[in-house]
Amino acid sequence: MASCRGKRKSTATCNSAVYRCKQCANIGCDQVQTDECTNQGFWCGTCVKCGTIELAQDLLRQQRLVMTPQLDQAIKILQLSLPELAAVVQNELVANPESAAIAKKIKKSK
């Protein structure tokens, strides 16, 4: 997914996801505030050029479906080498003591 190269008032670079309006082909990021970003194309899912609400929101929903945090993590894990994967699993076990307890139970049952 493309990330916005526009400048924001609050932060230096915007880096938000960039969306495209199906109605007028307006391209830009989506912000909750008006004129938040120099490359802002949408305001709360509404195209700032043609005012299309539903098409913009549909587009947002589709893009969220395409890349959920879980899917993003799964792809990152798939790209890891075996030692890196072992480190990630170890970190997860440290971060989640409940998972560690379950892992021990699985080991014992084998």
Q: Which residues are near Zn ion by CB under 5 A?
A: 4, 6, 14, 16, 21, 23-24, 26, 29, 37, 39, 47, 49-50, 52
Least Å from the CB of residue 67 to Zn ion: 17
Cβ-based nearer residue to Zn ion, 2 or 86: 2
How far apart are alpha carbons 19 and 4 in whole angstroms?
A: 9
Tell me whether strands 18-20 and 40-43 are parallel, antiparallel or unpaired. Answer: unpaired
Least Å from the CB of residue 33 to Zn ion: 11
Least Å from the CB of residue 71 to Zn ion: 23
Q: In this structure, what DSSP letter does residue 20 have?
A: E
Q: Left if phi > 0, otherwise alpha if psi is -120 to 50, otherwise beta: which for 34?
A: beta
